[in-house]
Amino acid sequence: MSGRDDLTTLAEFLSTFNARTLAAPTLENAKACLLYGLAVGIGTRRARPAILALNAAERQRESGDTTRLIDGARTSQGSAAFANAVLLSGRVQGDSHPCGHIGGVVIPSAVAAAESARASGETLLSGLVAGYESALRIGRDHSADLSLRGFRTTPAYGVFGATVAHGRIRGFDGPALRNAIGLAANFAGGLREYVDLGTEESPFQAGFAARNGVYVADLASCGIQATQNALHGKAGFYRAFGKKNVDYGRRLLEKLGVDFEFTAVTYKQYPACQFLRGIIRGLAALREQAAGAAVQSMEIRMNPYEADFIGVRFAGPFTSAAQTVMSAPFCAALAWSTGTASFDGLRRFDDAAVNALVPRIRIITDSGRKLYEPHIAVQLADGRTLEWTEQAGDSNYRVTWAAATDMTHQLCAEVGVPRPIAQTLVDAVAHIEAAPNVRPLITAVCAATTHA
């Protein structure tokens, strides 16, 4: 079985890896992830979690050299990472992977480190990629079992990514980074119980993961020693959050430095669960074909992991966005009623047309369906049956530079940010690898958030 030697090799690679060695398409992927994550933060500016995080951070009255993106205030690295992670996670539209929404945790930690250290844009990208790769490689063969136990992937793996990104930018060598990863395992967590009850923990889990990553790096730099077997030990991370006798780290080093797991990260067209984006898109298309005909019934076939995932079958009553963004019936009814699933639409819990349609929607567990490939059948009152199937799964939604640019303008327009201000952010990220520091990037984000 894999073990601590693999983790030593991974840490050595992450500590010496440099973004300038990336192939051009992979470098563009890294910049696309950065741009998309920051754009989602701008789109979250008016969301309740972002405001609550700002209020909580204000009560701490911490001073420092790191920028809080929501308002441009200067505060400590930990406080900024917390508030910025909530900002990037507060509308449930951050980048997606089976291991969670890692960008919303890694980007704030990396930006905080780069700003405080006056690091170059190239160093920021190096830390960002290192953070993504550590979180995703640690989690990619473990995430399903972790989720089934009721834990949430984003904070559980995000803390590793935040720690590595922060440490890499601060210049940790291999042994220091390996020790920091072991220490981070002690601060992983986050539960999924909030979904059905509709409570608000989700974005704050990302905030604490980002903040903990900063503090773990600080502790490691002070000489705190972690167990060498924090991941693989009999009471380690993998066993505590998974099953016995499973080699969850078997692919930890697979094609390391050749294939980058972060290039599989996807985006969301809508601020809802990644399992539901195909359903929303498909029903928007079928709605056009229906030409106003009423729905008699609707069947949505999903992969068992998705169909039976906590919150996906929830059919009301709806009282919070934590419920609607995970609910396949609500999102399907909303898409049919409005042609999309907007931020505001997902918060109209008393929408009569949506709530009337929800009971007519049936979610079916279908072992023949692949992940991210739902099949929809809509029986209309006029006797017609309309069908739609997602093809090619989540590869339809990979975070490319074109997708990130389009989503930046879409999200900025939604919250009233003028296109020239949005374009300034696009330009800052497009050339970030040549920037001597990250100040222009931070200025561009703050110009947009304060305008929104």
| Shared-domain flag, residues 258 and 310 | no
Residue 195 has a pLDDT of 85
Residue 4 has a pLDDT of 62
| Shared-domain flag, residues 138 and 78 | yes
Q: Are strands 74-75 and 66-67 parallel, antiparallel or unpaired?
A: antiparallel
Residue 249 has a pLDDT of 94
pLDDT of 397 above 70: yes
| Shared-domain flag, residues 366 and 413 | no
pLDDT of 199 above 70: yes
| Shared-domain flag, residues 163 and 295 | no
Q: Are strands 385-389 and 375-380 parallel, antiparallel or unpaired?
A: antiparallel
pLDDT of 59 above 90: no
| Shared-domain flag, residues 331 and 414 | no
| Shared-domain flag, residues 53 and 147 | yes
Distance CA 126, CA 30 (A): 9
Taking alpha carbons only, the member of 63, 75, 136 closest to residue 105 is 136
Number of domains in the chain: 2
User: What does the DSSP assignment read for 393-416?
Assistant: GGGGGB--HHHHHHHHHHHHHHTT
Over residues 303-324, the mean pLDDT reads 95
Contacts for 188 with CB less than 8 Å, ≥ 6 apart: 155, 156, 157, 159, 160, 209, 237, 241
Q: Which of 393, 410, 432 is the last residue of a domain?
A: 393
| Shared-domain flag, residues 61 and 138 | yes
Q: Are strands 74-75 and 295-302 parallel, antiparallel or unpaired?
A: unpaired
Q: From the CB of residue 435, how many other CB atoms can be counted at a distance below 10 Å?
A: 20
Interval 75-101: pLDDT, tens:
999 999 999 999 999 999 999 999 999
Give residue 139's identity as a one-letter amino acid code.
Answer: G
Residue 1 has a pLDDT of 59
- What are the beta bridge partners of residue 66? 75
pLDDT of 197 above 90: no
Residue 152 has a pLDDT of 97
Residue 3 has a pLDDT of 63
| pLDDT tier for residue 63 given thresholds of 50, 70 and 90 | confident
- What are the beta bridge partners of residue 310? none
Whole-angstrom Cα Rg for the chain: 21
Distance CA 216, CA 221 (A): 9
pLDDT of 374 above 70: yes
- Whole-number percent of the chain with pLDDT over 70: 99
What CATH number does residue 231 fall under?
1.10.4100.10
Q: Which of 374, 393, 412 is the last residue of a domain?
A: 393
Q: Which domain holds residue 30?
A: 4-267+398-451
What CATH number does residue 302 fall under?
3.30.1330.120
Q: Which of 344, 368, 393 is the last residue of a domain?
A: 393
pLDDT of 57 above 90: no
Over residues 31-42, the mean pLDDT reads 98
352-357 long-range CB contacts below 8 Å, 24 or more apart? Answer: 354/330, 355/316, 355/318, 357/295, 357/298, 357/332, 357/333
| Shared-domain flag, residues 63 and 161 | yes
| Shared-domain flag, residues 217 and 301 | no
| Shared-domain flag, residues 93 and 80 | yes
| Shared-domain flag, residues 230 and 352 | no
Q: Are strands 295-302 and 375-380 parallel, antiparallel or unpaired?
A: antiparallel
Both structure tokens of 382: 């006029």
Distance CA 362, CA 365 (A): 10
| pLDDT tier for residue 2 given thresholds of 50, 70 and 90 | low
| Shared-domain flag, residues 262 and 145 | yes
Residue 435 has a pLDDT of 98
Q: How confident is the prediction for the chain on average, in pLDDT?
A: 96
Taking alpha carbons only, the member of 303, 355, 348, 295 closest to residue 329 is 355
Residue 288 has a pLDDT of 96
- Tokens 């599989």: give the residue: 264
User: Residues 239, 3, 140, CA angle at the centre, nearest 5°?
Assistant: 60
Distance CA 401, CA 25 (A): 9
pLDDT of 24 above 90: yes
